[in-house]
Amino acid sequence: MTDQPLVMVLNGPNLNLLGSREPQIYGHATMDDIAASLEEQAAGLGLAVDIRQSNHEGHLVDWLQEAGARGALAVILNAGALTHTSIAIHDAIKAISVPVIEVHLSNPHARDEFRHTSFVARAAKGTISGFGAASYRLALDAAGALRQ
Ligand code: DQA
């Protein structure tokens, strides 16, 4: 147990392949690299982070509900392609009182038309995209700034 405010960092489909997946778009950092960087940053900010990845939509819904039940300070969510399709994730964000910070490595608005709709953005507190792995670090700073 920790009494530090909790930030859950939830990652969706194909983000387990970071590092080898289309590195010209997503960069060379792996999910483990990003997690290590966030753990270090969180320690400096006095936050606890719980970082997870799943290829399954229902896991993300369950974890959003868990963030609500645990009274997390914030969720940082990169829902991958589910961003553009999942009303279930949209509804899960709406169902909890925890602010959700949408994150993307790439800038979906500068890419394919089908990436221009985000069901996450419609329910999220805000969005950070286009800065590669640094998007996650910017999001963790934003989460820390939510402390009263
Ligand atoms: C992504 C952008 C999505 O459009 C894509 O489906 C991903 C990754 C990003 O981090 O840039 O899987 O969420």
pLDDT at 1 over 70: no
- Phi, psi (degrees; rounded to nearest 5) at 146: -80, -10
The answer to whether position 103 is within a domain reads yes
In short, whether 104's Cβ falls inside 6 Å of ligand 1 is yes
DSSP state of 4: S
- pTM for the model stands at 0.97
Q: Provide the number of structural domains found in the chain.
A: 1
CATH number where 21 lies: 3.40.50.9100
**Looking at the domain assignment, is residue 80 inside a domain?**
yes
Q: What is the pLDDT of residue 139?
A: 98
Residue of 28, 59, 84, 104 marked active site? 104
Residue type, 70: R
Using pLDDT thresholds of 50, 70 and 90, give the confidence band for residue 5: very high
Mean local confidence (pLDDT), 20-45: 97
- Phi first, then psi, for residue 55 (nearest 5°) are -90, 5
Amino acid letter for position 124? A
CA-nearest residue, atom 8 of ligand 1: 80
CA distances from 123 to 11, 16, 61 (A): 17, 25, 14
pLDDT of amino acid 148: 74
What are 109-128's pLDDT values in tens digits? 999 999 999 999 999 999 99
